[in-house]
A and B are shown apart, each in its own frame.
Chain A
């Protein structure tokens, strides 16, 4: 960091991502509250622990494998090049720890590597890790009240440290092969996270089956009333808040976008290093939220659950192109995506008896996929990257990209993994336990403790009266 402007830029970028990570943590808090609120009283503690423990299991997987995978497989490998050498992301590398950027201790790093990555590696890693938690949490909501925690964590590791990271390397990096060949554009991860996680959730739900009693004999679904509406509402607001941090984390805050030699123009960019502004994406984030809330409210007849989900689905639908859209394009696209997602949810539920407890496949999977495809038409002909020679954005490039996200990397790996777990007999909890409730033993113990305490208090009152 000899140049003072470069040094300041790196330090600002380090602080910027650090702040986004803190804000994004609220996404996970929101998911936990939301899922616990949706679950029934007899399952709430198990639901909480299943999602909370996703944090450590995905984190260690992402430290060991995920971060390296993101950089190493951007060329496929074998599509636009080989496996990349990315020593700073290897779990045993000195830059995966506190480092002041000076002389590297190892031989496989340059002075440039240490100067840059000593300040950015941890915060970039954390930003991507928080996206991994989000991917895992999307699965978590769909499968509540009947999946075994151990099986769920294995599936969450597969998605959070494997498949989503591969699709990010391919389609959400400035040199990914999907960007180069297909012109894939997905600035705020409509398909990269939401489409993929939705496809993954759908695959798991097929093997997992519906909760006991979810469908009547005539095939119509029963409603399982949420045990705490306020937890759901607070959870959704926290997810919205965390989503602001997510949008910020998807940008590079200061980057020289002037291609001319010797002149400099700093701007925020997307992860593809294409220019945008924080101001512009703020317009679009809020207008997409607005469109989603309005249509969610209308299509559900004012149902609070689907109205809040609609706000989230609206943002997710518009996210692929929210770096470039006009706010009203974001607004209408968000509304259209939520309408389609809502209708698809109920059609799939009735037609295939899929019990998606929180509508995760609809809001993340369908809305995200619709958003990616729609952006191919709206942004048709735009450059997908700042790099010369990359394919422009096209409807067919986005369609292929959406299929890779939802089906190839989302649905297929989880379908196979869930099938294996089902065959091993470790996917679903036993029927008797499901009927009694996953918190059955804890609730029984609490009841005993309460009775014992009440008896003791009664004796004390009697003695004081004597």
Chain B
């Protein structure tokens, strides 16, 4: 693929974009947007799974007395 800039010894006022792959911006935007949506979906799903596991472990390991103490605290 031809680089956007091949020679800096030109009239600088005529130089526009200087990044590689000019013309493919829309595809980069789509790829990045999909990745970001994936990240948010992954976070929501993994967080729910994580908290479900943690809740089960805590419920199993919580002594009755401690549980009652928490109940009393949680009157709001």
Identify the A interface with B (CB < 8 A): 1, 57, 60-61, 64, 91-94, 96-105, 114, 148-151, 153-154, 210, 212-217, 222, 353, 425-426, 429-433, 435-436, 440-441
Indicate the member of A64, A91, A154, A353 with the most B CB atoms within 10 Å: A91
**What's the least CB distance linking A327 to chain B, in Å?**
44
The 21 sampled A-B contact pairs (Cβ below 8 Å) are A64-B32, A91-B29, A93-B25, A94-B22, A94-B25, A99-B16, A102-B13, A148-B47, A148-B51, A151-B44, A154-B40, A212-B74, A214-B76, A217-B76, A353-B76, A425-B48, A432-B54, A432-B55, A432-B62, A436-B58, A441-B54
**What's the least CB distance linking B55 to chain A, in Å?**
4
Alpha-carbon separation in the docked complex, A151 to B41 (Å): 11
Query: Do A433 and B55 touch (CB < 8 A)?
Result: yes
Proximity bits, B55-71, A CB within 8 Å = 1, else 0: 10011001000000010
Q: Tell me whether B18 is interfacial, beta carbon within 8 Å.
A: yes
| Complex interface: chain A residues within 8 A of B40 (CB) | 57, 150, 153-154
**What's the least CB distance linking A205 to chain B, in Å?**
14
**What's the least CB distance linking A138 to chain B, in Å?**
21
Q: Residue on B with the closest CB to A425?
A: B48
Alpha-carbon separation in the docked complex, A2 to B18 (Å): 21
| Complex interface: chain A residues within 8 A of B1 (CB) | none
Query: Do A433 and B76 touch (CB < 8 A)?
Result: no
Given known contacts A102-B14, A426-B48, is B19 in contact with A210 (CB within 8 Å)? no
Alpha-carbon separation in the docked complex, A349 to B59 (Å): 31
Q: A94-B25, A102-B13, A430-B52 are in contact. List 13 more A-B contacts (CB 8 A).
A: A1-B13, A64-B32, A91-B25, A97-B19, A100-B12, A100-B15, A103-B14, A148-B51, A149-B47, A429-B51, A432-B54, A433-B51, A435-B58
| Complex interface: chain B residues within 8 A of A64 (CB) | 29, 32-33, 36
Alpha-carbon separation in the docked complex, A234 to B52 (Å): 36
Query: Do B54 and A435 touch (CB < 8 A)?
Result: no
Classify chain B's interface size.
35 or more
Alpha-carbon separation in the docked complex, A441 to B74 (Å): 22
Q: Is the interface of B mostly helix, strand, loop or mixed?
A: helix
| Complex interface: chain B residues within 8 A of A104 (CB) | 16
Contact of A213 among B15, B28, B54, B76 (CB under 8 A): B76
Identify the B interface with A (CB < 8 A): 12-19, 22-23, 25-26, 28-29, 32-33, 36, 39-40, 43-44, 47-48, 51-52, 54-55, 58-59, 62, 70, 73-76
Given known contacts A64-B33, A217-B75, A436-B58, is B16 in contact with A153 (CB within 8 Å)? no
| Complex interface: chain A residues within 8 A of B43 (CB) | 149-150, 153
| Complex interface: chain A residues within 8 A of B39 (CB) | 57
| Complex interface: chain A residues within 8 A of B29 (CB) | 64, 91-92
Query: Do B76 and A100 touch (CB < 8 A)?
Result: no
| Complex interface: chain B residues within 8 A of A215 (CB) | 75-76
Contact of A212 among B13, B15, B26, B76 (CB under 8 A): B76
| Complex interface: chain B residues within 8 A of A60 (CB) | 32-33, 36
Query: Do B51 and A430 touch (CB < 8 A)?
Result: yes
Query: Do A92 and B25 touch (CB < 8 A)?
Result: yes
Query: 6 tightest CB-CB pairs across the interface, nearest first?
Result: A215-B76, A92-B25, A100-B15, A150-B44, A150-B43, A432-B58
| Complex interface: chain B residues within 8 A of A217 (CB) | 75-76
| Complex interface: chain B residues within 8 A of A114 (CB) | 16
**What's the least CB distance linking B71 to chain A, in Å?**
10
Given known contacts A57-B40, A94-B25, is B16 in contact with A105 (CB within 8 Å)? yes
| Complex interface: chain B residues within 8 A of A212 (CB) | 70, 73-74, 76
| Complex interface: chain B residues within 8 A of A353 (CB) | 76
Indicate the member of B12, B33, B51 with the most A CB atoms within 10 Å: B51
Alpha-carbon separation in the docked complex, A283 to B29 (Å): 44
Query: Do B12 and A102 touch (CB < 8 A)?
Result: yes
| Complex interface: chain B residues within 8 A of A432 (CB) | 54-55, 58-59, 62
Alpha-carbon separation in the docked complex, A61 to B47 (Å): 21
Q: Residue on B with the closest CB to A109?
A: B16
Contact of B16 among A57, A94, A440 (CB under 8 A): A94
Alpha-carbon separation in the docked complex, A425 to B52 (Å): 12
**What's the least CB distance linking B68 to chain A, in Å?**
12
| Complex interface: chain A residues within 8 A of B14 (CB) | 102-103
| Complex interface: chain B residues within 8 A of A425 (CB) | 48
**What's the least CB distance linking A435 to chain B, in Å?**
5
Given known contacts A432-B55, A436-B58, is B16 in contact with A216 (CB within 8 Å)? no
Query: Do A213 and B74 touch (CB < 8 A)?
Result: yes
Q: Residue on B with the closest CB to A157?
A: B40
Q: Residue on B with the closest CB to A211?
A: B76
